[in-house]
Structure 1
């Protein structure tokens, strides 16, 4: 014997008219909107009364047969969505899940429309950006050599901590200016007064010049210098990556 629902058919019809979802209907009728069993019971009663709820949002608006026909006639998920009158790019996962449930052949559908490709930047890399990229280039070089690289969590005098046989404190510098046929690199830190680095603060300077050559210079070799000409330190130039 079926139980009489604790609401009238008229109250259900009014709630459906005033709501945009089954959860809204439950709230209007005074039920908890999180009860799945109550939603099923209310919907079954509404269907038995032939009450129109097509205005509800978030409902599936196509039949399994319509989906099967759209999948068979389309070459991409975008075309499937268009055939079903769907707009926006968020439908693919839902459509694909239903297609798999129905065991439809979807092998011919493209996951997405062919991408036009990312345009090549008009300006390209510029030497003026080398100071910003210096630490990343240095970290990449050490990583390619198989060393562990870390950045300090708090401000300190070195830029990188490289772990080889023992930790090495690395200060990264770049040289983008030429003088007397040599790239020039400033080693002192900027500020109100330029300050040189003490051997107790760092172990090496990793210098990148405008030709993207790399140098690893012990701080003891250039101690006390504010600026150096890199042509005088070719013995500290690092090898390039070989393919």
Structure 2
């Protein structure tokens, strides 16, 4: 119930249920019928959640894992790489710093996590399994190697851009957007999304085509290793394609890198 002089349009019971049913403060605000982009609204519901001593350990925000999942991952792992595998995310430098920082804030014990021993004995083999869901994380490296092996200088943009790479070719500097598809659809066709979300806070907004004047090439890697390099002018106005319709643009095969 609301307290005397409280101008809220929602009560403690509604807040308690919203916190239980959602995984971020913005989602809680939406559940209460409030503006989720208002910092004042978020501060208000946080203040009342603290007053009610509500449990928010299941909140993930922009994360794909909860505080509880991180605790379990730390308990069951012997090194940071195992923590990432347990959480089902790629082991990037940025994510490693973020997860370590989160563990420190939660005062979790990480002292047992060791750096894995390097394979140094004769006969040792690096045999970590391939994880197809990490193809999008691996694709930029594949693209850089593909262009570099053809004598093209490759650079990463200093600030976020609509393109992922800058590649110097005989035709000049090309702006390259990288796309992937992990597996074919039920009919055996490889569908690839080549659109982007508009610059909006609404992550559910429909994707829109890239401006053909902002890109020069699409570098596409499929889960079977196939590589396509397609001019943006060929795909102008599209947000998705069946890549097998563009076989003339198939330029290579990285199956040896990503095979299980």
TM-score, normalising length: structure 2: 0.46
TM-score normalised by L of structure 1: 0.49
